[in-house]
């Protein structure tokens, strides 16, 4: 298993319940060599991995761009709603407040 798989999953696993992060934020945190596309791709391959809360990762506008890749198209929204995140028209409400940026939150 390539390292970046582990890296991405590690960061995603750190996103607190009820918060969301973005592909770009994770990519930047992992280093300039990583692209946000690759982050999305890793999550795509991680759908079946329970330990990775892929539903907490959205694009920079708070849009649920990955919902189509879950078991059902409403599953991502269900999970987030269950955690207290309100979704309206596939968008995270109050996204700015819920946004969790690893390069800020994980700064030692």
Pick 68 or 89: Cβ nearer DNA: 68
40 contacts DNA (rule: CB under 7 A): yes
- CB of 38 vs DNA, minimal distance in Å: 5
In angstroms, rounded to a whole number, what is the distance separating the alpha carbons of residues 30 and 27? Answer: 5
6 contacts DNA (rule: CB under 7 A): no
For residues 90 and 67, is the Cβ–Cβ distance under 8 A?
yes
Stretch that binds DNA, among 42-50, 83-91, 94-102 (CB under 7 A): 42-50
φ, ψ of residue 6 to 5 degrees: the values are -65, -45
33 contacts DNA (rule: CB under 7 A): yes
Structure tokens at 106: 């994980």
Q: List the one residue from 13, 16, 18, 37 that touches DNA (CB under 7 A).
A: 37
Pick 44 or 94: Cβ nearer DNA: 44
| Interface contacts to DNA, rule CB under 7 A | 2, 4, 22-25, 27, 32-41, 43-44, 46-47, 54-55, 57, 59-61, 65-66, 68-70
């Amino acid at each position: 298993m390539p390292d970046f798989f582990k890296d991405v999953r590690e960061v995603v696993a750190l996103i607190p319940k009820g918060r969301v992060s973005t592909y770009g934020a994770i990519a930047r945190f992992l280093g300039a060599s990583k692209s946000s596309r690759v982050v999305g791709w890793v999550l795509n391959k991680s759908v079946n991995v329970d330990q990775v809360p892929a539903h907490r990762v959205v694009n920079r506008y708070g849009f649920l761009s990955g919902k189509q890749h879950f078991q059902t198209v409403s599953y991502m929204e269900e999970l987030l709603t269950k955690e207290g995140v309100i979704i309206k028209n596939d968008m995270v409400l109050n996204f700015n407040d819920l946004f969790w940026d690893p390069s800020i939150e994980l700064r030692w």
